[in-house]
Amino acid sequence: MSDQVNKFLGDSLGRTIVKLIVVSLIVGFVMSIFGWRPMELVYYVRHFILDLWYRGFAALGSIGDYLVLGATIVVPAFILLRLLNFRR
- pLDDT tens track for 52-62: 777 776 656 66
- pLDDT of 85 reads 82
Share of the chain above pLDDT 90, in %: 1
- Is the alpha carbon torsion for 14, 76, 43, 49 positive or negative? negative
Using alpha carbons, select from 80, 67, 62, 70 the residue that is nearest to residue 24: 80
What pLDDT is recorded for position 7? 74
Distance CA 71, CA 78 (A): 10
pLDDT attached to residue 67: 78
Count how many residues are written for the chain: 88
Please, which pLDDT band fits residue 64 given cuts at 50, 70 and 90? confident
Three-state secondary structure of 34-84: HCCCHHHHHHHHHHHHHHHHHHHHHHHHHHHHHHHHHHHHHHHHHHHHHHH
- Does residue 46 carry a pLDDT above 80? yes
pLDDT at 59: 58
